[in-house]
Structure 1
Amino acid sequence: MSGAATGVPEGARVVLATHNAGKVRELRQLLEGAVPGLDASVAVVDAGAVGAPDIVEDGVTFAENALKKARAVAAHTGLIAVADDSGLAVDVLHGAPGIFSARWAGRHGDDRANLELLLAQLADVPDAHRGAEFVCAAALAVPSTADARGTHAIHVEHVEHGRLRGTLLRAPVGDGGFGYDPILRPDGREESTAQLSAADKNAISHRGHAFRALLPYLVDALDARP
């Protein structure tokens, strides 16, 4: 093992601040061919591969949470870091659950409880007013070289947003995806997000839009570093 910091796999150049293998695969696919000679399967690693610390997501916006994660991982590893934060924003709830999407029912990551609570809260809302959108903020943090104490300052930051508009269904439909996917029908589609193939979902998803918008800045950052 060698690299920018102890515990960083050899060849790693970008850390995606997540333990979600699907997100890592998506970023690798975006980078393939974007940087000549880059083997994205080696260059892009997840937070677990570098022993990154758990980050408390206490920001009040998606962008704040994404930046906090990217900064912490970049400072910890000395590598370029990318992070995202996302959730569901419901029109009649003035943007809620928003940053609380993953813990709407009180316990973080209980998708079923979150979904059931939201449906109950919207039970009397007519179809014409069930608009909502998935929102994602994707953040880039580029560290400087370490100082005498081994500390990496962050000298480049950038955030991009992506959105997927749709209508909330009255009951879950589909077995794919996760979170609120089974109850959002994207605009112009007949299926819920949970019924889309992985390729179709990535093409229109909030996270896909945010990552693709961030890609030129990530490529520039990679080109600027040896």
Structure 2
Amino acid sequence: MTARIVLATRNPGKLREFRALLSASPQLQGRDLDAEVIDAATAGCPDVPETGISFEENSLLKARAVAAQTGLPAVADDSGLAVEVLGGAPGIFSARWAGARASDEANLRLLLEQLADIAPAHRSAAFVCVASLVIPDAQGGPLREFTTTGRLEGTLLREPQGLGGFGYDPILQPAGETRSTAELSMQEKNAISHRGKAFAALREHVVEALGA
């Protein structure tokens, strides 16, 4: 069965979230989203260097590259954690804060160490996501591009809580919550998360790209 759209990521957590979000669309009920929505590795796409200086630039770079390589509609996002007292860092460097090949655990631990002396009142942070959809034209015409942004405001905990999610999820407590993002169900997380908001804003265009 031929895939219809590629999510430009090798992160299985992002792929699960994206499929879950799409599965809630009435137009896609009964569709085999595991076959129709695949990741970059399954599509045979190499990693796309994130050479942009903003979330939007990196998101579009990845979506354009994967759409060009596959001839299929491509969705990409660039997401990160913006910490107020760090001037918005780690930002676009969130996935490699502790080094180019650092694990999620290493990134998280380094950030906690850097904020060890920061009082709760000054531990405000937000997850930020810019998502892009690029639809190539089968007849060689111009690309169609859509870009959306989502934010999840919260406070950074002093220690990780919860086993769900990925990245910095265990240390961000969303505003109004008593749990970390890693303690939320996927449905709860998608309803409020930065990525959920950005992908939800793209959903109408993605559904159209899937021919539904």
Equivalent in the alignment of 2:82: 89
Equivalent in the alignment of 1:112: 105
Instruction: Verify: 1:17 aligned to 2:8, yes or no.
Output: yes
Which amino acid is 1:30 matched to? L
Equivalent in the alignment of 1:142: 135
TM-score by length of 1: 0.85
Alignment of 1:173-192 (within 5 A): 173-192=161-180
Contact 1:141 1:157 in 2 (8 A): yes
| Matched position secondary structure for 2:47 | coil
Paired with 1:200 and 1:192, the residues of 2 have a C-alpha distance of 12
The structure with more radius of gyration = 1
Contact 2:17 2:186 in 1 (8 A): no
Deviation sequence 1:33-78 (CA, Å, 0-9, x none): 3357754333212112221121001111111111111101101111
Equivalent in the alignment of 1:169: 157
Contact 2:21 2:190 in 1 (8 A): no
How many residues align structurally?
A: 210
Paired with 2:13 and 2:202, the residues of 1 have a C-alpha distance of 18
**1:30 pairs with one of 6, 21, 24:** 21
Quote how far apart the aligned CAs of 1:130 are: 0.7
**2:204 pairs with one of 193, 216, 226:** 216
Equivalent in the alignment of 1:72: 65
Which segments of 5 or more consecutive residues in structure 2 lack a partner in the other structure? none
Deviation sequence 1:114-158 (CA, Å, 0-9, x none): 1122112212222111100011111100111265xxxxx651111
| Matched position secondary structure for 2:42 | helix
Equivalent in the alignment of 2:185: 197
| Matched position secondary structure for 1:50 | coil
Query: Which structure carries more relative contact order (alpha carbon 8 Å, separation 6+)?
Result: 2
Answer with 209-218 or 196-205: which moved more.
196-205
User: What is the root-mean-square deviation of aligned Cα atoms in Å?
Assistant: 2.0
Paired with 1:29 and 1:117, the residues of 2 have a C-alpha distance of 31
Deviation sequence 1:65-116 (CA, Å, 0-9, x none): 1111110110111111101111100011111000001111123342222112
Equivalent in the alignment of 1:57: 50
Contact 1:88 1:134 in 2 (8 A): yes
Which segments of 5 or more consecutive residues in structure 1 lack a partner in the other structure? 1-9, 148-152
TM-score by length of 2: 0.90
| Matched position secondary structure for 1:128 | helix
Which amino acid is 1:213 matched to? A
Paired with 2:98 and 2:55, the residues of 1 have a C-alpha distance of 19
User: What is the aligned-residue identity percentage?
Assistant: 60
Contact 2:161 2:182 in 1 (8 A): yes
| Matched position secondary structure for 1:165 | strand
Equivalent in the alignment of 2:124: 131
Which amino acid is 1:160 matched to? T
Equivalent in the alignment of 1:102: 95
